Amino acid sequence: MIPPDEPGAAAARLTGAAVQRVRPLSGDLAEVVLDGGRAVMVKRGDPRAVRAEAAGLRWLADARTVRVPAVRGAGGRWLVTDRVPTGPPSPEAAFRFGRDLAALHRTGAPAFGAPPPDGPREAFVGLAPMRNVPGDDWPAWYAEHRVLPYLRTAFDQGTVRPGGAAVVERVCERLPDLAGPAEPPARLHGDLWNGNVLWGADGHARLIDPAAHGGHRETDLAMLDLFGCPHLDRVLDGYQAAAPLAAGRKDRVGLHQLFPLLVHAVLFGRTYAEQAVAVAARL
């Protein structure tokens, strides 16, 4: 008999299907094969994070643009999604991904900071808390709800020193001048580093582990650039072909990277804090 707090039991309970086998992948993730041969991923986490991730995946899926694994069940500490058979990334798949990402962003959001329908206001980006507070003005919203909260936490931890904090604060004061042309809220993945892009064996990329919310579309692209993405030039080609970006985007990449860098400073320490301050100093 499967213990009740194990991935197999969670998969059976949330999908209503019997379990054939379980393959643990890490402390919080397992692959489970259900009766009929369907393979699913079973993930354990904070109940608030599970709710936010499930809502985010459904919101991205509703756009019918970039593909995401289907949510097969979510409840309590457990999330069950389809397993994605993966293959090597290719220039063709990268171009297609860029085009589809542009289409996802174009589907929009009610406001900057708007959570997915049924998604919680108190969400997560990775392991860090993230508040989804709606706003109409991107520079003011980005400073107040994406940069400064993590700067304060990193400062309180001693990860960012006073001089570095002052540099980042000056960037926030200058955000209206640095932000570029105004754009409507985009439907963002929100945590789009390369590890959250699965290159499907069918030639289509899938997005996993979203921190979905309404935001500026350049933020997703800047995160891909920050942590590396195979064939990024082709991703950007596909994006530009579908939805051209405003002039000067390259000058704004660092601005959009402040948010993930400061999140990483909070979670992982001084190296990311130093990188964030260096980016802010260049800005």
Q: Which two tokens stand for residue 258?
A: 């402040």
Burial tier of 282 (Cβ tally within 10 Å: 0-12, 13-18, 19+): exposed
Catalytic residue among 35, 100, 118, 191: 191
Sheet architecture: strand order including 29-34: 19-24, 29-34, 39-44, 78-82, 71-75
| Rounded distance between C-alpha atoms, residue 254 and residue 278, angstroms | 10
The verdict on whether 191 is a catalytic residue reads yes
Catalytic machinery residues:
191
